[in-house]
Amino acid sequence: MITAKAIRDKAQQDLQELQRLCIHPNSTWMNEEFAPAHGTGCTVKVCDICEKVLERNSDYNHNFFR
Q: For binding to Zn ion (CB under 5 A), which residues are involved? A: 22, 24, 47, 49-50, 52
Amino acid code (one letter) for 65:
F
CB of 44 to Zn ion, least distance (A): 13
Give the nearer residue to Zn ion in terms of CB position, either 27 or 40. 27
| CB-nearer residue toward Zn ion: 6 or 55 | 55
Question: Which burial class, exposed, middle or buried, applies to 18 when counting CB atoms under 10 A from its CB (0-12, 13-18, 19+)?
Answer: middle
Q: Look at the alpha carbons of 42, 46, 51, 54 in this order and tell me if their dihedral is positive or negative.
A: negative
Least distance (Å) from Zn ion to the CB of residue 15?
10
